[in-house]
């Protein structure tokens, strides 16, 4: 899947690009990052760009296209890529088309995020006010004045690309004023309809969605089961408490009876001892009487 995202500053291109990267395993190619990486790696094109930048010049389109040509040959770009910051002009778009033709690759789609510029300016003004209210310093590139200039530049340089790709039936327009989630869903719907997603990717996305749905259902079922089991647990607890109460009552009831039996036994023992003592005394008295009679 090879894509270009078009839209003015603040339209949400960066956010949507990252979502596509994470979901489909493709790479986001930023011309600025590619230039710095090529310079650091010391590639022939990177050395050429380094010399131009060192002299304070703008890197020409052919050098940028050369860097892109090298970058899309790397393994992580084989599955696809999103171009960020390129092309910015019609000549750059023509150079990119020529590059892809030479490599026998095709551009799947150019997604334009269409937004209301007045709403963007209002959004930036509000953000700037909130930043000042927090006592923080407003970034120089995050003010209505800077955004106005960038929007004017976009209209003059980049907006012609909309007509260029529309003529080639590559342009797809999405309402960028929707919520982030809605924009993401719409982009994925369009790419699926175009067949830009590989069957495996589509199945994986579908399986992930199904697994997520199943997990939600399972969680809901577990919660319902816990809720349903709560009265049963309460009843069981009440039963245990009632059993303990009966046992205690039975034990309490037995205690007086045991005490009475012990008391009666003691009394009987004392009576028996008294009878034995009386009998012994009687016998002793009888013996004494006999002895006296003999005398």
Q: DSSP character for 157?
A: I
Q: How far is CA 36 from CA 45, 107, 186, 234, in A?
A: 11, 25, 33, 68
Residues annotated as catalytic are 13, 88, 127, 139, 150
Max CA separation in the chain (angstroms): 164
Q: How far is CA 198 from CA 76, 88, 172, 191, 267, in A?
A: 16, 28, 19, 10, 101
Give the pairing of strands 81-84 and 27-30.
parallel
Task: Read off φ and ψ for residue 229, nearest 5 degrees.
Answer: -75, -15
Contacts of 103 (CB under 8 A, 6+ apart): 69, 72
Handedness of CA 78, 80, 83, 84 (dihedral sign): negative
What's the order of all strands across the beta sheet hosting 171-175?
27-30, 81-84, 2-6, 109-114, 171-175
């Amino acid at each position: 899947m090879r894509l270009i995202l078009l839209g003015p500053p603040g339209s949400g291109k960066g956010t949507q690009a990252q979502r596509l990267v994470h979901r489909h395993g493709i790479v986001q190619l930023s011309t600025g990052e590619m230039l710095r990486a090529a310079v650091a790696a010391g590639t022939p094109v990177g050395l050429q760009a380094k010399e131009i930048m060192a002299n304070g010049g703008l890197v020409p389109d052919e050098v940028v296209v050369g860097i892109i040509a090298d970058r899309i040959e790397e393994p992580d770009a084989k599955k696809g890529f999103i171009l960020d910051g390129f092309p910015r002009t019609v000549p750059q778009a023509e150079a990119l088309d020529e590059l892809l033709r030479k490599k026998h690759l095709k551009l799947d789609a150019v997604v334009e995020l269409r937004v209301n510029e007045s709403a963007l300016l209002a959004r930036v003004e509000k953000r700037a006010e909130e930043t000042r209210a927090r006592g923080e310093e407003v970034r120089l590139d995050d003010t209505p004045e800077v955004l106005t200039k960038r929007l004017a530049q976009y209209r003059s340089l980049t907006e012609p690309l909309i007509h260029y790709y529309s003529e080639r039936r590559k342009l797809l327009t999405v309402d960028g004023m929707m919520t982030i989630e809605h924009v993401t869903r719409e982009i994925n719907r369009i790419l699926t309809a175009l067949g830009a997603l590989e069957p495996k990717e589509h199945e994986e996305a579908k399986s992930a969605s199904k697994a997520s749905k199943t997990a939600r259902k399972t969680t809901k079922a577990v919660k319902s089961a816990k809720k349903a089991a709560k009265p049963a647990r309460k009843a069981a607890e009440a039963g245990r408490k009632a059993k303990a109460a009966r046992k205690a009552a039975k034990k309490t009831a037995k205690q007086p009876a045991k005490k009475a039996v012990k008391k009666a036994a003691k009394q009987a023992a004392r009576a028996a001892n008294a009878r034995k003592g009386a009998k012994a005394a009687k016998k002793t008295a009888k013996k004494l009487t006999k002895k006296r009679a003999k005398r």
